[in-house]
């Protein structure tokens, strides 16, 4: 319990907040007709998400709400999966480590394989959605309706309270803070 609601929660709080903030901006600023473009240009939308995901430093925690917001706006689920796979696997630190441990050729192979696998799985996911006749944005949009809004607000308040509590506790334990008293 202490690890789950303390250490782990504190570790994911910042990327989660960044992901929620970016997801909110996508939901607010992106056009509603993204569905038409994404469905007409599925491969292009996957390439755009690949190009956006590779240099962007997003961990899985922050990329999930971003992908959900993009699906809610109508992005095809395959393109969202490409972003979810390529983004966390190709952050700057990983790229640097692969290049330093191996060489530029190995880095090229690494990025190429991640890109190809992400695109292949993106196509498979879109194919599954097409064959089953499911609209991904309808599913994402309905997920919040499972719980009443009052319960959602209470849960959000508890999560925010736990994050603030753990953040303050970590500040009190930090060596810089201990020496200042």
- Tens digit of pLDDT for each residue in 71-93? 877 788 888 888 888 877 777 67
The three-point CA angle 150-139-148 to 5° equals 10
User: What kind and span of H or E run contains 75?
Assistant: none
Mean pLDDT of 29-42: 67
How far, in Å, are 13, 62, 174 from residue 70 at the CA level?
21, 13, 38
- 49 in Cβ contact with 83 (< 8 Å): yes
What are the sequence ranges of the domains in the chain?
Answer: 2-146, 148-181
pLDDT at 2 over 70: yes
What tens digit of pLDDT does each residue of 90-149 get?
A: 776 777 788 888 888 988 998 899 999 999 999 999 999 888 887 766 565 555 566 677
Residue given tokens 């308040």 in the structure block: 157
pLDDT band for 33, please (50, 70, 90 cuts). low
């Amino acid at each position: 319990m202490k690890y789950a609601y303390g250490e782990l929660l504190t570790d994911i709080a910042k990327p989660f907040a960044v992901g929620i903030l970016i997801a909110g901006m996508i939901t607010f600023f992106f056009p509603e007709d993204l569905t038409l473009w994404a469905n007409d240009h599925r491969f292009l939308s996957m390439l755009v998400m690949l190009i956006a995901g590779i240099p962007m430093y997003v961990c899985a925690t922050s990329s999930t709400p971003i992908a959900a917001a993009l699906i809610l706006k109508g992005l095809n689920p395959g393109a969202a999966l490409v972003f979810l796979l390529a983004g966390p696997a190709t952050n700057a630190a990983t790229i640097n480590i692969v290049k330093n441990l191996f060489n530029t050729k190995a880095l090229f192979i690494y990025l190429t394989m991640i890109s190809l696998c992400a695109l292949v799985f993106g196509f498979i996911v879109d194919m599954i959605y097409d064959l089953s006749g499911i609209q991904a944005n309808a599913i994402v949009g309905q997920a919040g309706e499972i719980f009443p809004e009052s319960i959602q607000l209470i849960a959000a308040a508890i999560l925010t309270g736990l994050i603030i509590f753990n953040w303050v506790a970590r500040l009190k334990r930090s060596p810089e803070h201990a020496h200042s008293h």
